[in-house]
Homo-oligomer: A and B are copies of this chain.
């Protein structure tokens, strides 16, 4: 259980991604109905548009987007480093150009804390350098050490800004190198964050390498505070990573795939454009009770997708988020009743 100023969040928890202050295509009452307690918003995107100062003048992010429950903001590190041609890193911070209009910006760990403070996030992430895959050990070490120095600066600034009512999470880096991951965890534990996240995974590495890295990284994270695995993953990944000790997740998979016509169901992935669904009167997932599955058929969803209708993204996204949230709800029940072991054994049957 996480407790934020905007309510309790049962863990393990999956956070739908609301990049620009909206979980794409879905109105907030739908998210509430599905049981979403916590969404992730992207600092980088909100900083550029509509601007954190504007959001602050409008009463902060919760009020601006009209979301009364909890919000975690990432630090923008991943986004800044994704646009590799547009940025230049120094010890002090990052110079980069906006992907929207080419305007030039300079962000430091301190400034990133200021921005997230102005947004009013419940959970704030430290600014880190997210190393790509592949990345040699020397580069990974230099980058990790920079991220650790930045983490310390984030923490120092955050203590000036916050009264302790909001969480600041540190981010473990170190690529796929056990020694670096261990050193990173040790640095961050010593600094005293309210939670730790594992970053730098799900960035293109083979999945077995991700699991190897998690196998030696997750056990080192403190058990008394949240352990957030960033950017992961498929339903199958969630089951397996929860078994390994992670208890917070975010991923664009359910929302992005929904817009591309890919539905997660208890029978596996469904590509709704496939001709076999053209006259299928059944619901997307017979075991799901979401708005989409209660009311609409695969045939209709296929039609909406083929016709390029807005409603396709809406209904598909409602279903995929419901599928993820429902799975997490059942996992929490299984953990409470000591029956989660069966989930792990049967994890092959979850969509990957």
Contact = CB atoms under 8 A, between A and B. Distances in A.
Interface of A: 20-22, 24-29, 49-50, 54, 57-59, 64-66, 259, 278-279, 281, 291, 295-297, 299-300, 302-304, 306-307, 309-311, 313-315
Contacts of A278: 50, 54
B281 A66 contact: no
Contacts of A299: 50, 54, 58, 64
Contact of A297 (B58, B297, B304): B58
Given A66-B296, A66-B297, A307-B20, A25 B314 contact: yes
A69 to B, nearest CB: 14
Contacts of A65: 300
Q: How many copies does the complex hold?
A: 2
B27 A314 contact: yes
Contacts of A310: 22, 24-25, 259, 310, 313-314
The 10 A-B pairs at the shortest CB distance, nearest first, are namely A25-B310, A22-B311, A50-B303, A20-B307, A66-B295, A22-B309, A310-B313, A24-B310, A58-B299, A66-B296
Contact of A49 (B26, B49, B66, B307): B307
Given A66-B296, A297-B58, A22 B304 contact: yes
Contacts of A303: 20-21, 49-50, 64
A291 B27 contact: yes
Contact of A279 (B24, B54, B311): B54
Max count, chain B CB within 10 A of own CB: residue among A21, A28, A49, A314 = A314
Nearest to A50: B303
Nearest to A303: B50
Contacts of A27: 291, 311, 314-315
A250 B281 CA distance: 30
Contacts of A58: 279, 281, 297, 299
B297 A26 contact: no
Contacts of A20: 303-304, 307, 309
